[in-house]
Structure 1
């Protein structure tokens, strides 16, 4: 078991960080988010759990979400981020955050938000999606997510990491780059 990096002094000084582990469905956001949160001793929020019933039913039916469908969902996630920011608490959120405009909306809740973009080849992501039992997101929506995806751009704090890396290696790279105040 890796040592946790909880640092009470950092927590009290307001240096705790908020992370969003982002990418298309099937890239490993939930697993990496949970592992990163565990290493940092931060809470982990699974963004999919915040979708409305309507959104889940729409995706399960193979219908891509549009910006209007995602707006309230992103605002709800932003509320969670804002609360952590205002209380100087660390937080790790797993959330697709596909478009820059979505990330901008989340960043309104915490200008220092750090995005960890998990990237990979379509074939590998599809393979991972097919291996997930009982998930509401069908493989048929992968192409719409890839079309919507806007990689991190200038002015966005974060990093891209290849999903071919072992999960522990991905987490360690995040910690090496962003995890130490």
Structure 2
């Protein structure tokens, strides 16, 4: 959401896709049949995971045998750490990697075909990869798409004057914003109270 606050044109493009797909009649956005019709929503979530993975490093792995990786010998028994955040910010893999650009995950954007499961060439792995991939991957992506769709559908997200969004991170069990997001929310829709006849 912080990236959408900092990038109002992206937020507006996402809102337009959500509104075109869900209209104003539906109580909520992001039902499964709707999410399949919202490629930009998926692109926003993938770009968020690329730029801001929940963890910067995976649990250490131990090499079962001596192995050569790109000319480097990893000796049997050595601890191997995967710098997940750096993979998503690697300029050899991503054009302008520090820029938040969901378009890279749309056809022709350079990131299409990227899968977060590690079943293809690994360019990002916010949930790990292979047999040690996070078991909650499916539920996490589903919830991210659902929550982002509803938060953007219901509110315009703006910076608070004099309180610029700072994307600096603090590392702990998971990675969070060092300075929590403060945003000015403007309702997009007028909610009518449900009335029932006596």
What TM-score comes out, normalization by structure 1 length?
0.26
Higher RCO (CA-CA < 8 Å; seq separation 6+): 1
Greater helix fraction, Structure 1 or Structure 2:
1
Specify the structure having the higher radius of gyration (Cα).
2
